[in-house]
Chain A
């Protein structure tokens, strides 16, 4: 195609140009054999396509299938939510396994750990540690003196 108006022929035929352009193109068509031929060919092609198209076969149960899209969409939504929940549960499980208490050997694990209350009962308060030690030393000294004194008398 060499005519610069040729591209407008499609829009003209498809009723996609305004009235002013239409009038201008119709004047041009009277003088341009190339555009006239193109217009005839495109018209012929459109009519050939319409003639060649046959009634579209639609299965009797097709409408039921299309109504069924409602259930398909709902089922897919449920499946999607189930999938997300499964994935979330898996992430939580893996996280718990990775961040949980470190496993110990069976021997250590078998030995029962003392309860916290037992530790507190036998452990004196931190601030009295020094005094308690000196008291014990004093008591031990007295006991030793006493024993040596009594031992000396018994001899």
Chain B
């Protein structure tokens, strides 16, 4: 069975079946990350489709696995989508979303650790950079090196972002952590 890199080369030479095999192998994984980053099924689908289009147009330099390279493309596409959506929204809207999440977080302290918390609420309080590292590490289980490759930042930056993101979540969701 050909590996991902071979399939990618075949797809680049015009083999549609090789491309479909790559989609079969990675679509669900990428969709999971895209959904965690966008928190919207339609946006997630757009981002994954754009990632597969980019797969056919971009050059894979074999500096990582194909999967990590795809995550790299996907994270960039999700960030672009987020920026374009923010431009369209009024400045007040994101602030409202943050406030809502903040209210949910405050409520959590009262509700205690039995309350059901939605991941979307947790991620909403984070900046895009902090959200990326939490999704890739905590949900997808990527290593620091894989994250550094996917996010195209040094490993040290990944670590500092992860520390800050965790610190922020610990602070905001204290109520849920008691008794965890």
Contacts and interface: CB of A to CB of B under 8 A. Distances in A.
Given A45-B177, A66-B48, A56 B32 contact: yes
A75 to B, nearest CB: 10
A14 interface: yes
Contacts of A49: 119, 122, 134, 138-139, 169
A141 interface: no
Contact of A56 (B31, B166, B176): B31
A52 interface: yes
A50 B119 CA distance: 8
Contacts of A57: 35, 41
Interface string B15-50: 010011001100110011001100001001100111
A67 interface: yes
A62 B32 CA distance: 12
A14 B119 contact: no
Interface residues of A, number: 36
A32 interface: no
Interface stretch (B51-59, B61-69, B88-96): B51-59
B28 A14 contact: no
A73 B56 CA distance: 7
Contacts of A63: 23-24, 27
B19 A70 contact: yes
A139 B51 CA distance: 94
8 smallest CB-CB distances across A and B, nearest first, come from A44-B180, A69-B52, A73-B56, A52-B119, A44-B177, A56-B35, A49-B138, A53-B119
Interface of A: 7, 10-11, 14, 16, 40-54, 56-59, 62-63, 65-70, 72-73, 76-77
20 contacts: A10-B162, A10-B163, A14-B144, A44-B176, A47-B180, A48-B177, A49-B138, A49-B139, A50-B138, A52-B118, A52-B122, A56-B44, A62-B48, A65-B49, A66-B23, A66-B52, A67-B19, A68-B49, A70-B16, A72-B49
